Structure 1
């Protein structure tokens, strides 16, 4: 198993080895640039995520912004603009804005 991580690789690797005993687990930052299989999985995940986001029906009325909310990633400008437009966060947007310097 190859895992891409932004956190402590050793900690995640040990945890996964306990969950999957007998299976070789490799956890590395930037694994998508180190292992072709992780690169392929990353592309597949992005395509699937983009399809879900494109067809997402928000519970909230977004008015004119109903189709221009970007990728949903916190660092995307359209996503930032949409989030700042509303006092409350639409239910599908990330709760972890501190990653890009925006906090409530």
Structure 2
């Protein structure tokens, strides 16, 4: 009986250690995910700024066309790929 009790206690300690390790991994994942989202946002801003820099010498109609093109590439903060964003695909809404 004592042997079973000791084994049970070891398993409980192992379970607690695994739960702690899982929590640490979740926190690390969330931090990396947040850093990645920020990196993507900064990259999008850099791309938009470089596109705006190329628009300085354009006539207003050409600038409006380029702006419309940029707006179509980004829908709700998500870049559109192959004509539809994942939101539009999931909800089957027109673009």
TM range (shorter): 0.3 to 0.5
Task: Compute the TM-score of the two structures, normalised by the length of structure 1.
Answer: 0.33
Rg larger in 1 or in 2? Answer: 2
Q: Which has the higher helix share?
A: 2
